Structure 1
């Protein structure tokens, strides 16, 4: 097995899966933080709004993708049944893949990072960029672990997953 190729393949897989969600989440996160700070002058309010904005934007993208993928996976069922099953599978998938990461990220890492980042860096822009990076690293370590460990329970385009090669074997290579 070519370990560089396998690692590169996994990174591409994760990027295809998470990048659209990240773009939506970041847009809502930074936009919400800027609006909250402009309206209140409070770094604490901006930190809370950034956390909520990141979650709303990210999960709107993740959920709509999961519903669409699950809906397409059952072409022989009626529209109503496809819709109900797709929504149920999407909810399960989002909860399993992102639940633990989101709880830790939203309650601890992201609010603290968005509060202390501007204080540490002496400015909002640099502090928020730092906060975003710190929070995202923590979030993705947990989310990717869940994705790799529980892929069989998730809504995943089969072309998206690396075939028969769990992350542990890629990391060990």
Structure 2
């Protein structure tokens, strides 16, 4: 189990740090510009997701490129599509509920409830991550054997 935790932290940890920074920055800017909790929740959700998935996709592309080059094969558009399919399997179900319901709702209500924009956004992100990672990690583990060999 220690090895799995280490693997998951290596995969998701840097993406999470990047996402936290992007989420807080986007939410703060959105609130400053609009004063709207709805705009703040959506900006925090979507910019944080963009940073998170951008990092994960870049990580997966680099790993696939290394695997293919080690066997003398080029990284092609078809390989990119395989990377994207693996990400869709890993995150698809978790992301639908997370991005469209759980995370924006928490980012809307928690800053109001706590009386702190940054504290509420950060707590919302952490709580949403719990519901996100359970299905994401299960899907990742199930997809490793079939979808991550390039």
Tell whether the structures are fold-level matches, with TM greater than 0.5.
yes
Q: Matched residues in 1 for 2:9 and 2:135: separation?
A: 15
Change (3 A) 1:60 1:156: farther
- Indicate conservation of the 8 Å contact 1:69/1:156, yes or no: no
- Indicate conservation of the 8 Å contact 2:98/2:128, yes or no: yes
Please name the residue that 2:81 is paired with: 88
Q: Matched residues in 1 for 2:26 and 2:101: separation?
A: 19
- Indicate conservation of the 8 Å contact 1:27/1:57, yes or no: no
Q: Comparing both structures, which one devotes a greater share of its residues to helix?
A: 2
Q: In the alignment, which of 51, 54, 60 is matched to residue 60 of structure 1?
A: 54
Shift of 1:69: 1.0
Please name the residue that 1:148 is paired with: 141
- Indicate conservation of the 8 Å contact 2:86/2:143, yes or no: no
- Indicate conservation of the 8 Å contact 1:32/1:53, yes or no: yes
Q: TM-score, normalised by structure 1?
A: 0.80
Change (3 A) 1:36 1:156: farther
Please name the residue that 2:26 is paired with: 32
Q: Matched residues in 1 for 2:18 and 2:141: separation?
A: 23
- Indicate conservation of the 8 Å contact 1:70/1:89, yes or no: no
Unaligned residue ranges in structure 1 (runs of 5+): 1-6, 158-173
- Indicate conservation of the 8 Å contact 1:25/1:57, yes or no: yes
Q: In the alignment, which of 109, 114, 121 is matched to residue 107 of structure 2?
A: 114
- Indicate conservation of the 8 Å contact 1:24/1:57, yes or no: yes
Shift of 1:110: 0.3
Give 1 or 2 for the bigger CA radius of gyration.
1
In angstroms, what is the RMSD of aligned CA positions?
Answer: 1.6
